[in-house]
Amino acid sequence: MSAQAMNCEIEVKLGLLKPCPQLKTALQSLGEVSAPRKDTLSNTYFDTPQRALFALKAGLRIRKAQSYQEQTLKVKGAALAGVHARQEYNVSLPGGLKIPDLSLFPDDAFPEGTDVAALQQNLVKQCAIDFKRTCYDLKYKGAKFEIAVDEGFIKASGIKAPILELEIELKEGPSDSAELIPLFDEVVRGLGNAGVPLTLEPFSKMHRAALLMGAAERSAIELPKRRALSAAAYLTVNLKSFETLLGLFLVQLNPLYLGYMTAALKNLRRACGCVLTEALNDDNVNDSESCRELKADAKHIKRTLKKLARYAEKLESRVLPLTLQDQDYDLSADAQRLRRRITKTQAYSLPLHLRALLLKLQTVKTVNQKA
């Protein structure tokens, strides 16, 4: 059994409308592509009946691949613009182990004071997530990414939900968000322009599984506790709300989420305008050559937000009356139409575009203040 390994996992997760056989060609239009590989992965997730690991913002699984078996503990970290950074601990296991052995992880993998023995004693299987993975390595602007497509199913509470998503994980490159987010943004934009049918997939596989199992705490929307917010903070809050509401609608197919999501998109558009106005009133920004770029970026983002808000509002106006009249109506096709609209308008780039805009604005301010 090998010693445990800990890495910081930094990745972006996106959905795919359909399988993408031209992915390698699309990647080659961006940079150097190598190491094509395929695997079949079977993941079993564990927690206690009281969801103690969820309360610690941790995920625990056993993964079986064609050539190895391992247990993994993921501890939630920061999430910036859809870029997820988490601590990940992996331990190789012999075949046949049914329950993870928490003692194999380092003590500091768990928060101080955690009763690891009690956790171990109460571990039970939560769900299974099985999929086929196709991977490539991509070198782009001095960074190395692993590009993976996962296609399979989540099996939870008697429900079998499909998976079709693309993950972009940073293997080598910058760790500073001022460099990292624009880099991810460029890769995502390049893949979309090369014809990869990207769409938004706000929730992880395990998050979706938890919702299917009825975890009400996974439906929460976090709002700030104080009223006074900067334009940038207001934008960030509404972006997170939009992503959460979209994820909930796609999993739970509740039309009520559409109205809230429309409001979040409209608020995002207003927030984007406020950020730009604030920038134009700042002497460190408005006289800079980069100001024109900021205005162009903001204009493009606001246009995309407007298109998506109009579509969501139109969709809600059509399906909500049917629901209120207690008609038996399946929203699966409407959810897929929304996913297609996100692809068509390239709204899958919105989270990265918005955070990249804020970072660019801050960079312009800093550079001009130093000057």
At position 148, the amino acid (one-letter code) is: A
- Give the distance from CA 246 to its chain's centroid: 12
The answer to whether residue 286 scores a pLDDT higher than 90 is: no
Least confident of 76-90, 98-112, 307-321, 340-354: 76-90
Structure-token pair, residue 256: 């009520």
CB 45 within 8 A of CB 59: yes
Name the phi and psi angles at 111, rounded to 5.
Answer: -60, 150
- Summarize the confidence of residues 105-129 as an average pLDDT: 91
The answer to whether residue 87 scores a pLDDT higher than 60 is: yes
Q: Which stretches within the chain are classed as H helix?
A: 23-28, 52-55, 116-122, 177-193, 205-212, 231-252, 256-280, 283-286, 290-324, 332-344, 350-370
At position 70, the amino acid (one-letter code) is: E
CB 237 within 8 A of CB 316: no
Q: CATH fold of 224-370, please?
A: Four Helix Bundle (Hemerythrin (Met), subunit A) (1.20.120)
Q: CATH fold of 5-199, please?
A: Hypothetical Protein Pfu-838710-001 (2.40.320)
Residue 107: pLDDT band by 50, 70, 90 thresholds? confident
The answer to whether residue 99 scores a pLDDT higher than 80 is: yes
List of residues 6+ apart from 346 with CB closer than 8 A: 189, 192, 304
CB 278 within 8 A of CB 286: no
Least confident of 81-85, 135-139, 322-326, 338-342: 81-85
Residue 179: the pLDDT is 82
Q: What percent of the chain has pLDDT over 90?
A: 55
Residue 291: the pLDDT is 73
The answer to whether residue 129 scores a pLDDT higher than 80 is: yes
Give helix 231-252 / helix 256-280 axis angle, nearest 10°: 160
For 308-355, the pLDDT digits (tens) are 999 999 999 988 888 777 777 788 999 999 999 999 999 999 999 998
User: How wide is the angle at C-alpha 302 spanned by C-alphas 298 and 308, nearest 5°?
Assistant: 150
**Residue 343: burial class (beta carbons within 10 Å; 0-12, 13-18, 19+):** buried
Residue extent(s) of CATH 1.20.120 domains in the chain: 224-370
Residue 278: the pLDDT is 78
Residue 289: the pLDDT is 66
15 vs 210 pLDDT, higher one: 15
H or E stretch including 163? strand 159-172
**If you ran DSSP here, which 8-state letter would residue 104 be given?**
G
CB 163 within 8 A of CB 153: yes
What's the rounded Cα separation, in Å, for the pair 246 and 261? 7
For 177-206, the pLDDT digits (tens) are 778 888 999 999 999 999 999 999 999 898
297 vs 289 pLDDT, higher one: 297
Residue 5: the pLDDT is 56
Residue 1: pLDDT band by 50, 70, 90 thresholds? very low
Place of tokens 């004071």: 113
Q: Where are the beta strands (DSSP E) in 67-117?
A: 69-75, 79-80, 83-92
Residue extent(s) of CATH 2.40.320.10 domains in the chain: 5-199
Summary mean pLDDT of the chain: 87
The answer to whether residue 3 scores a pLDDT higher than 50 is: no
